Structure 1
């Protein structure tokens, strides 16, 4: 099932980075206008990408003894450094808000509790919006991805051939029913739409596994899948066809974009752009909420226009995130890898 030769999918990294930028633009629509009206659909492609990459990297190892430990260790190393950094930024923002205007937002004790819970990817829905992760809303996707990865590893024999096809079919029917019920696929961030998020994550992740194992490739160059992603997420959709449009993206366009991205690799200048987009993708997705929240909060105190704040925050993120990747995330992951591998080696029986 897995490939004996591990390759790095640069176009998929580029797609992840472009999707993260589109999510950021979607989340600042209140300041810049609705530029990316379907930005929430990027999450579905993230789940497909996750399933594809995990199947590519771990299928062979999960079929052996102790494979789930390898995947669990890898996921912790990948997620935790930026989860902690995001929590620190959220805490600093909360403390600053308390000093400047203690009447705004949640009480500091409740907000601090939500931030502390987020470090362990545990939901704590407080506040009027009932977000699962009120301190950093996009964390719901990361938490579900982690739980799905664990289930995939622990129940790996069930996700082979017929078992995989059956669970994909069931999750797809479930997701279609929820989209029809809510009239949109913008599900998962809050308590009321939690099960919609589970369905989105399950279907996308499993479809990614199927795409990887099927090895279906259609080489069209790296530009087309990126253009399709931008087009689908930026296209203005009337409310009357929102449900159909979201289903078309989830069940057809998103898997197709990932398949096309896995089929072509960039060269030259395109490769350099792909490296940059891959480097910023995770940190941009994880940190844009607390950083932009802090910038907008400061801007309100200083009387700066929302549009100016949006532009400043976007520029700051695009400059800061590659630095975070190079100077913080990579070194911390390397340190954690060394510590966890040493601990695993110390527990291994001698001889």
Structure 2
């Protein structure tokens, strides 16, 4: 049976995607503003929530497309849909961030870290081009511009790999996916210096590990579909406890990730499999309207939050300190690693964090309506046209060759 024909929507998993996106916002905030959260190992290791996105992406994409990519037309249609899902919003946010950083540079008074350069630094023209074409996770440049967007580039090229595997080896999809996930994890263990905190260097390999683990998880879900899930609430709580314990044990922040962090895709596959059944009390909670909204806006939340943190929080605090004649940025040593953070007190940090989350969510709701949905629909229409069989396409008239008889209409009396 067609995978998407089952009617499954995975609304609960979408809500979890929104919650994880907000956790990523909090994670990046604590590396700009000094907060007590820096001592919380769960938040300190929240970079791992990106792996949740990868596993969930593999799960839902396999559900929707493993039986829908059978020829070159369907292959092209799938890629058009993926481009429409990722690229327009990524490009819009990148362009907005470019304008913001350019305005700061034109003003001529800013911290050195916001300087635009041709080939080096966080805001180079070379990095801008690589980010625009989604080549920001291939080891060609370090993290730059909208740093978290490395995962968007990684996902796009992983989608391409998935489509090729389905087109060539659909009957062996589970076997090939398992091999790809295992090989990617092995490469990260052997070669990646930061293990699962790999971003612009081994980010593509990290995405392959998570995405194809999600493909394997979906096969297990499909095999168990229709069977009752006993003790659903207990299993939901246990899967969350397992994921939480793993995040805490996976290292001491991004600078001291353990090799254990490479198991993140497997750790997240468990709650994804459990919550995909939507059978317990926790699932009912995740169906609440505000959480469902966060799920819808999660992609926008993820892409928008770093420009807000850079342009509003980091530059804003620097500008305030510059005008007031005080230095708010100090070195904070965390487990022997120095971090340059703004210190505005625990209460001030809490207030700013709440304002940031509210602003990011509001902007995400707006961009979802104005950018995500319209462009997704445009590319979906292009994909549907591309996927039509040749026999259903309108025939084209051919021009007679030179010397061929030309039909003449004779008016009968």
> Same-fold call, TM > 0.5?
yes
SS at match of 1:61: coil
1:283-294 maps to which residues of 2 (within 5 A)? 283-294=300-311
Cα displacement string for residues 127-180 of structure 1 (whole angstroms, at most 9, x for unaligned residues): 9xx52x411112221111111111221232454454642552353254146336
CA RMSD of aligned residues (A): 3.5
SS at match of 1:189: coil
Using the TM superposition, give the Cα deviation of residue 186 of structure 1 relative to its aligned residue in structure 2, in angstroms. Answer: 3.2
The equivalent of 2:376 in structure 1 is 333
Quote the Cα distance in structure 2 between the aligned partners of 1:203 and 1:124. Answer: 14
SS at match of 1:134: coil
The equivalent of 1:322 in structure 2 is 365
Q: Which has the larger radius of gyration?
A: 2
Cα displacement string for residues 224-283 of structure 1 (whole angstroms, at most 9, x for unaligned residues): 4894487347637665995264244333x2110111121116458833133212122100
Using the TM superposition, give the Cα deviation of residue 103 of structure 1 relative to its aligned residue in structure 2, in angstroms. Answer: 6.1
Quote the Cα distance in structure 2 between the aligned partners of 1:209 and 1:185. Answer: 22
Q: TM-score, normalised by structure 2?
A: 0.71
The equivalent of 2:214 in structure 1 is 208
1:193-204 maps to which residues of 2 (within 5 A)? 194=202, 197-204=203-210
The equivalent of 1:190 in structure 2 is 200
Quote the Cα distance in structure 1 between the aligned partners of 2:378 and 2:212. Answer: 31
The equivalent of 2:161 in structure 1 is 151
Q: Is the helix fraction higher in 1 or 2?
A: 1
SS at match of 2:199: coil
Quote the Cα distance in structure 1 between the aligned partners of 2:137 and 2:180. Answer: 29
1:58-207 maps to which residues of 2 (within 5 A)? 58-98=65-105, 99-101=107-109, 104-105=112-113, 106-110=115-119, 111-123=124-136, 130-131=141-142, 133-160=143-170, 162=172, 164-169=174-179, 171-176=181-186, 178-179=188-189, 185-191=195-201, 194=202, 197-207=203-213
The answer for unaligned runs of 5 or more in structure 2 is: 322-327, 329-342, 396-413
Quote the Cα distance in structure 2 between the aligned partners of 1:125 and 1:162. Answer: 27
SS at match of 2:146: coil
SS at match of 2:98: helix
SS at match of 1:190: coil
Quote the Cα distance in structure 1 between the aligned partners of 2:394 and 2:110. Answer: 58
Using the TM superposition, give the Cα deviation of residue 288 of structure 1 relative to its aligned residue in structure 2, in angstroms. Answer: 0.9
Quote the Cα distance in structure 1 between the aligned partners of 2:127 and 2:263. Answer: 35
Using the TM superposition, give the Cα deviation of residue 53 of structure 1 relative to its aligned residue in structure 2, in angstroms. Answer: 1.1
State whether structure 2 residue 309 is matched by structure 1 residue 301.
no
Contact 1:51 1:205 in 2 (8 A): yes
The answer for unaligned runs of 5 or more in structure 1 is: none
Contact 2:137 2:204 in 1 (8 A): no
The equivalent of 1:255 in structure 2 is 269
Using the TM superposition, give the Cα deviation of residue 58 of structure 1 relative to its aligned residue in structure 2, in angstroms. Answer: 0.9
SS at match of 1:350: coil
Instruction: Between 69-78 and 208-217, report the one with greater CA deviation.
Output: 208-217
Quote the Cα distance in structure 1 between the aligned partners of 2:101 and 2:159. Answer: 32
Cα displacement string for residues 92-135 of structure 1 (whole angstroms, at most 9, x for unaligned residues): 221132024266234354534433432221339999xx52x411
SS at match of 2:360: helix
Q: TM-score, normalised by structure 1?
A: 0.82
Quote the Cα distance in structure 2 between the aligned partners of 1:135 and 1:80. Answer: 16
SS at match of 1:138: helix
Instruction: Between 155-164 and 42-51, report the one with greater CA deviation.
Output: 155-164
